[in-house]
Amino acid sequence: MNWGWIPANLPALIEATIDHIVLTAIAVGVGFAISLALAILIHRDRRAFGPVSAFTGLLYTIPSLALFAFLVPITGLSLLTAEIGLISYTLLILVRNIVAGFDSVPAEVSETAAGMGYTWAERLWRVELPIAMPLIVAGLRIATITTIGLVMVTALIGEGGLGQVMLRGFNFRNWVAVYTGAALTLALAIAADVALVAIGRLATPWATRRAS
């Protein structure tokens, strides 16, 4: 084991970690935006739930390698190819959790909000979304951790962040590189989860307080 490999490749490791974070952030960010729009559509008209659910479910069942193999001839070995795949896998989890969040708003709260003269949009942004927040954050945690793992797979199409470090490690029998890549990915997943829990707590002080 050549542990000296780590300090010698520190700049490359940092770059790979940043790549990994960026790939994950783009996937979860764009995935969340699309999912929120779909969830609001379902919230407005429940009949949209079946088709949206079927479509995102279908995307989720496609094995990741198969999806990339299908996309490469169209979009090439590119960031776009990687992100299309990564975003697709966040949709099912996020849409379901955001819809569950909207459903968790008590009927009497929506009714009094309407009765007091909230417009539809005011009700959505100021009442329903904040109350849905705990379930939305729960969805974001699962989506983020899943994506951090999936980003590794995109190493096969030339992206991959820390996945690249591991892939090269395998190719050159450099086990230090393999372990380092794996350890950093794990650390990233734990850090992201802890951060999301903290953000969730800050965003929902009302959910954690109990009768004094």
Partner 1 sequence: MPDHHAATVEFDHVTKVYDPAALAKGVPGAVNDLCLSVPAGRICVLVGPSGCGKTTSLKMVNRLIEPSGGRILLDGVDAATRDVTELRRGIGYVIQQVGLFPHLTIEENVATVPRLLGWPTGRRHERAAELLSLVGLEPATYARRYPVQLSGGERQRVGVARALAADPPIMLMDEPFGAVDPIVRARLQDEFLRLQEDLAKTILFVTHDVDEAIKMGDLVAVMESGGRLAQFGPPAEILAHPASDFVARFVGADRGLKRLSLSRVGDVPLRNPVSARPGDDASAARGRMRADPFPFLLLVDAEDRPIGWLDQDEIPMSGQLEAASAIAMSPLLDRRTTLKDALSMLLDADVQAGIVVDRHGAVRGLLTVDDIAERMRAGPEPASEATAR
* Cβ at position 34, least distance to partner 1 in Å: 25
* Cβ at position 33, least distance to partner 1 in Å: 22
* Cβ at position 116, least distance to partner 1 in Å: 6
CA pair distance 43, 32, nearest whole angstrom: 16
Say how many C-beta atoms besides its own lie within 10 A of residue 101's C-beta: 23
What is the x/- site pattern for partner 1, positions 12-51, by CB under 8 A? ----------------------------------------
Complex with partner 1: residue 9 or 204, whichever CB lies closer: 204
Q: Cβ(90)–Cβ(143) under 8 Å? A: yes
Contact flag: residue 199 with partner 1 (CB under 8 A) = no
Max Cα–Cα distance, the chain, nearest Å: 69
Contact flag: residue 206 with partner 1 (CB under 8 A) = yes
Binding positions for partner 1, 90-129, rule CB under 8 A: 106, 108-109, 111-119, 122, 127
CB proximity list for 210: less than 8 A, separation 6 or greater: none
Q: Residue 107 — left, alpha, or beta (φ > 0 → left; ψ -120 to 50 → alpha)? A: alpha
Complex with partner 1: residue 2 or 119, whichever CB lies closer: 119
CA pair distance 3, 177, nearest whole angstrom: 9
Indicate the DSSP class of residue 125.
I
Binding positions for partner 1, 125-154, rule CB under 8 A: 127, 130-131, 133
In the complex, which residues of this chain contact partner 1 (CB under 8 A)? 106, 108-109, 111-119, 122, 127, 130-131, 133, 204-207, 209-212
